[in-house]
Amino acid sequence: MTDTAWRTGGSADTAGTAGVVGAGVMGVGVTQCLVTAGYTVVTVDTDPAALATAPRRLRDGLRLHRLLNPGAGAGAGTGGAPPAAQPPSRVRWSDRLPDLAGASFVVECARENPAVKEAVFRELDALCPPRTVLASCTSAIPVAGLAAVTGRADRVLGMHFMNPAPLKDTVEVITTPATSGETLDRALAFLGSLGKRGVVVSDAPGFVSNRVLMLTINEAATVVEAGTAEAAQVDDIFQSCFGHRMGPLATADLIGLDTVLDSLDVLRQYTGDDRFRPCPLLVRLVGEGRTGRKSGAGFHDYRTSATRRPTA
């Protein structure tokens, strides 16, 4: 499919349970989108640390949602009337993929690693009912490869939610040649029930967003490493001169520099293009544990609200 317009579809999968794989930043963000829209959700992660902090992170996100939407009730979603149960009570946290066996729609938010995602899709295919749609929130991995390890390639597509998922009303939707029209319609209706719209693009490494963005981030990091400008100056130019809401390095910190690094590696692997070779400064920051906002520091330091150029 090559439809690049925003499309709307049929009725959303409001019956049953929605599933999320991954309780990291994106997984919890997608979970929040689902529960605020009234869905019952099962979110699965095998990392005990992620599961231990996920409920608190969800509560924090819901609290922010209420502050930004003072007219909405605690359980009100963008897709319909306020549900009876409070959002946190509609989420089941689990470390077992079999707990997703009853889900009608699953969004996979596992680590940006082809082998990890393929293993998840194989197991989901074996566990979930035949009609279940399997959507990947991959940042750069071609979706056709994930669909190929299943017996339901027609019911697999990409749903690239942007971070922070609850605050972004647009999702990059990726179709493969095997994705059926019915699956695309169900996916777009599903997004519509979350108060979001989908921009449909064809499958390729990095799709549109990260094929362009990751090169920009990598080059911006190279500029800092070369001493041409500090991180704050780079971002200021993009905001003040180009009108961007965030500069590329602040965006990288928000995404997570470890995810950026994984995405660059994936893009280089699938395209063979050496332009995606990660900048040494980016590699070093990740090695030091400075992965961005979630760690308190990346290209910018969020622990002191100061912005400074990382020392070489």
The CATH number assigned to the domain holding 166 equals 3.40.50.720
Specify whether 21 is located in the same domain as 107: yes
Residue 250: which CATH number?
1.10.1040.10
pLDDT digits (tens, 9 = 90+) for 251-310: 999 999 999 999 999 999 999 999 999 999 999 999 999 999 999 999 999 986 544 444
CA-to-CA separations, 133 to 121, 229, 245, in angstroms, rounded? 11, 46, 34
DSSP label of 309: P
Nearest to 201 by CA among 193, 192, 212: 212
Q: Does residue 312 lie in a domain region?
A: no
Peptide bond into 70 cis (omega under 30): no
Specify whether 184 is located in the same domain as 57: yes
The pTM score is: 0.86
Count the neighbouring beta carbons within 10 Å of the beta carbon of residue 209.
Answer: 16
Q: Does residue 192 lie in a domain region?
A: yes
Specify whether 159 is located in the same domain as 144: yes
Specify whether 194 is located in the same domain as 227: no
Specify whether 231 is located in the same domain as 196: no
Give the DSSP per-residue string, 259-293. Answer: HHHHHHHHHHHHH--GGGSPPHHHHHHHHTT--BG
Q: Does residue 137 lie in a domain region?
A: yes
Specify whether 197 is located in the same domain as 242: no
Structure tokens at 112: 């940006």
Spatial distance between the Cα atoms of 129 and 103, rounded to a whole number of angstroms: 8
Give the DSSP per-residue string, 194-259. Answer: TT-EEEEEE--TTTTHHHHHHHHHHHHHHHHHHTSS-HHHHHHHHHHTT--SS-HHHHHHHH-HHH
pLDDT digits (tens, 9 = 90+) for 94-128: 999 999 999 999 999 999 999 999 999 999 999 99
Please give the residue range of the domain that contains residue 36.
17-202
Nearest to 155 by CA among 166, 143, 141: 143
Specify whether 224 is located in the same domain as 122: no
